[in-house]
Amino acid sequence: MPLPHPATATAATTPLTVSAPRPSEEAVADIRLIVTDMDGTLLDDAKRIPDGLWSLLTELRHRDVLFCPASGRQYATLAKEFADAGQGMVFIAENGTYVVRDGVELSSDPLDPSVAARIVTTTRGLRAEGVDVGAVVCGKRSAYVERTDEAFLAEVRKYYTRLQPVPDATAVDDDEILKVALFDFGPVERTTAPALHPFTSTHQVVVSGEHWVDIMNVTADKGTAVRRLQHDLGITPAQTMVFGDYLNDLEMLDTAEWSFAMANAHPAIIDRARHIAPSNNDNGVLRTITRVLDLPPM
């Protein structure tokens, strides 16, 4: 039995699971663009890229399918992770605020430095109240932090390869700021995110993980970046496949008819996606791509 075409499918009635049969030759999707989140989606819980990805990327290039990581991570971090396979790849970094291909900026949506300074000041206030939180001011060239204890830096370094401690993160004036990310050692939705409510009337405040919340321009998100890429390349939603697991992936899911929530995803992501993929720890992204495109297992 062939897979249902996503144009007639809903997540509630036709989830695509690992047990689904491969599509018939006639039903193989005409996919031109594959966009995937990184943490909790492509990467397993140990932050490892699946071994089969590199051979899959070679096959996708042969088929003229563009593979695009879309992450809250820094561009420099993404470029390092894909150093041996990144030529021609588009990277949607910093939750859509910075899009780069082969080292050339395709688009960006910088944050007003005065807003970044207000967020840093708010973070200092939370720290004074006993919240175990720190701010990362995310620029195009580097990320900047005031907090320098090793526990905090160990978490930040996972996502920011270029990281510079500074005495005053409100005074960064030689870089374009893209967003401010806050790491909370506790559940971010319970403490830090509510404290950022005053910014929600003018900016995006998006929970991007259990311990992370990002503040950026209201015009910036992964979905906006994907739509611009689709427009520039002449690729339709029917030719687009996306994968996500957390709230910063919501808008991205709306750009594709082949939208997948990971089995481990936030409930809001599962509700929004058309299909369900196996979890990040079950190699869900690669298994789903190979099944939908009728490729041999990687």
Active site residue 37: yes
Rounded Cα gap, residues 107 and 198, in angstroms = 27
Question: Using one digit for the tens of pLDDT, what is the confidence trace for 246-273?
Answer: 999 999 999 999 999 999 999 999 999 9
Residue 267 corresponds to which tokens in the numbers above? 């409930």
Neighbours of 139 (CB within 10 A): 23
Task: Tell me the HSE value of 29 on the side-chain side, using a 13 A CA sphere.
Answer: 27
pLDDT in tens, 154-182: 999 999 999 999 999 999 999 999 999 99
pLDDT at position 21, please?
Answer: 40
Mean pLDDT of the region 216-243: 97
Q: Between 257 and 5, whose confidence is greater? A: 257
pTM: 0.87
Interatomic CA distance for residues 240 and 29, integer angstroms: 9
Cα dihedral sign, 201-194-127-169: negative
Q: Exactly one of 30, 37, 174, 294 is catalytic; name it.
A: 37
Mean pLDDT on 179-205: 95
* Of 226, 264, 258, the residue nearest 245 (C-alpha): 264
DSSP code, position 112: P
Q: Compute and round to an integer the Cα radius of gyration of the chain.
A: 19
